[in-house]
């Protein structure tokens, strides 16, 4: 989602943008060419990695004079492959890598780097061949530094979202609607949230929780919800188009994201842009920018602190809720507007291209 938002913004600014990946179809959409990279899936991780490297290498070598810069989300197979090609002298364009999550339980960038054979050598190549690593959130830099990631240049440009023209109308009186948007996975901490909601219900709080998204933990969470007696106030909506997500944001009173680790949540940014106060955990992502006048931040894996935060949020008066809603919008406009973030990225790219001329 983030790369698509940025790609469209860069194209609107007059730049030519193309996106290559093995999970996307070959097509052209909104003037942006999408390139499908062929990968062999059925025969294990090693063959998949080799086939991805060869597919990306063939594509980049064929188009080596077509691009001025290569931008990779995640410190994963794309960034590693490009860094290796640069190390071999086959690719010369500046490389910008953007690790996407952090924290001690990070299952993305950190876990991948640690799991690879010869990880020390790979990290050394990344340090030498990544012209810049952009850390979108403080926790990501903190989690990757101990494994030896020390790039030549770093940037700290966060994710961006369009600033919503619509505002949430979350009702402060009566039953309050809580909203979660994301994958139903262990990372998101929903197994902690549901028991906390059961405690709140027993204390007399009136609310409903609507979960938008799908994932491997859905059945477990539905069973847990029934076991806790929450089936009448917790709804699993599954994956929904953006139009439905927008409708849910407009009707919600509070956005909840009790993650165990996170980078810079697009879902939380979108909620904030609509003026929707949030309850988030202290992951070192978007929570690092929040102040108490905009949202509530609680400890990781801490049910008591999550209970405290939700209890406070559910008992805020209308005037205070409106003030917090305004603060959420101001936070996004001042720090995370897509136009500003896209422009900062382009300024970085232009600097790298000047310093590292290719062809």
Same-domain status, 293 and 210: yes
Same-domain status, 9 and 154: yes
* β-bridge pairing 27-29 and 32-36: antiparallel
Same-domain status, 288 and 346: no
Q: Within a domain: residue 9?
A: yes
Q: Within a domain: residue 168?
A: no
Same-domain status, 138 and 214: no
Same-domain status, 71 and 191: no
Same-domain status, 64 and 46: yes
How many domains are contained in the chain? Answer: 2
Per-residue b or e along 106-121, where b marks 16 or more CB atoms closer than 10 Å to that residue's CB: bebbbebbeebeeeee
Same-domain status, 64 and 87: yes
Same-domain status, 127 and 249: no
For residue 44, the domain's CATH number is 3.40.50.2000
Q: Within a domain: residue 167?
A: no
The whole domain housing 184 covers 176-335
Number of CB atoms found within 10 A of residue 240's CB: 15
Q: Within a domain: residue 170?
A: no
How many whole angstroms separate alpha carbon 113 and alpha carbon 144? 9
Q: Within a domain: residue 82?
A: yes
Q: Within a domain: residue 268?
A: yes
How many whole angstroms separate alpha carbon 280 and alpha carbon 286? 9
Q: What angle do CA 336, 341, 343 make, to 5 degrees?
A: 150
Same-domain status, 271 and 331: yes
Q: Within a domain: residue 325?
A: yes
Give the global pTM.
0.87
pLDDT tens for 145-165 read 888 888 889 999 999 999 877
Same-domain status, 139 and 16: yes
pLDDT values of the chain reduced to their tens digit, one per residue, 359 residues:
899 999 999 999 999 999 999 888 999 998 899 999 988 877 777 788 888 889 999 999 998 889 999 999 988 889 999 999 999 999 999 999 999 876 555 556 777 777 777 888 999 999 999 999 999 988 888 888 888 888 889 999 999 999 877 788 776 667 899 999 999 999 999 999 999 999 999 999 999 999 999 999 999 999 999 999 999 999 999 999 989 999 999 999 999 999 988 888 899 999 999 999 999 999 878 888 888 888 999 999 999 999 999 999 999 988 899 999 999 999 999 999 999 999 999 999 999 999 876 65
Same-domain status, 278 and 136: no
Same-domain status, 212 and 316: yes
Q: Within a domain: residue 171?
A: no
- Three-state SS letters, 165-213: CCCCCCCCCCCEEEEEECCCCHHHCHHHHHHHHHHHHHCCCCEEEEEEE
Which residues on adjacent β-strands are paired with residue 142? Answer: none
């Amino acid at each position: 989602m983030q790369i698509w938002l940025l790609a469209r913004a860069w194209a609107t600014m007059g730049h030519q943008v193309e996106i290559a990946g093995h999970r996307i179809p070959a097509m052209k959409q909104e003037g942006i060419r999408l390139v499908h990279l062929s990968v062999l899936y059925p025969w294990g991780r090693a063959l998949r990695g080799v086939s991805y490297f060869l597919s990306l290498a063939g594509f980049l070598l064929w188009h080596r004079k077509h691009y001025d810069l290569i931008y990779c989300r995640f410190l994963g197979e794309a960034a590693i492959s490009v860094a290796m090609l640069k190390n071999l002298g086959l690719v010369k364009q500046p490389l910008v890598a953007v690790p996407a999550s952090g924290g001690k339980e990070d299952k993305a960038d950190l876990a991948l780097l640690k799991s690879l054979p010869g990880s020390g050598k790979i990290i050394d190549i990344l340090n030498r061949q990544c012209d810049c690593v952009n850390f979108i959130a403080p926790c990501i830099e903190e989690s990757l530094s101990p494994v030896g990631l020390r790039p030549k240049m770093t940037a700290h440009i966060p994710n961006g979202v369009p600033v919503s023209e619509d505002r949430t109308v979350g009702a402060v009186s009566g039953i309050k609607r809580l909203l979660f948007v994301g994958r139903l996975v262990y990372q998101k901490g929903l197994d902690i949230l549901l028991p906390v909601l059961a405690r709140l219900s027993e204390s007399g709080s009136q609310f409903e929780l609507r979960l938008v998204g799908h994932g491997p933990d859905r059945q477990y969470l539905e069973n847990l919800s029934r076991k806790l007696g929450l089936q009448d106030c917790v709804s699993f909506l599954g994956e929904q188009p953006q139009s439905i997500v927008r409708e849910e944001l407009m009707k919600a009173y509070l956005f909840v994201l009790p993650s165990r680790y996170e980078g810079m949540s697009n879902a939380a940014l979108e909620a904030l842009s609509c003026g929707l106060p949030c309850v988030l955990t202290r992951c070192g992502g978007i929570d690092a920018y929040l102040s108490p006048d905009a949202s509530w931040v609680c400890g990781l894996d801490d049910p008591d602190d999550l209970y405290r935060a939700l209890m406070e949020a559910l008992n805020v008066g209308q005037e205070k809720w409106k003030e917090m809603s305004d603060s959420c919008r101001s936070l996004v406009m001042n720090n995370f507007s897509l136009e500003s973030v896209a422009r900062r990225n382009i300024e970085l790219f232009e600097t790298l291209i000047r310093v590292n001329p290719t062809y």
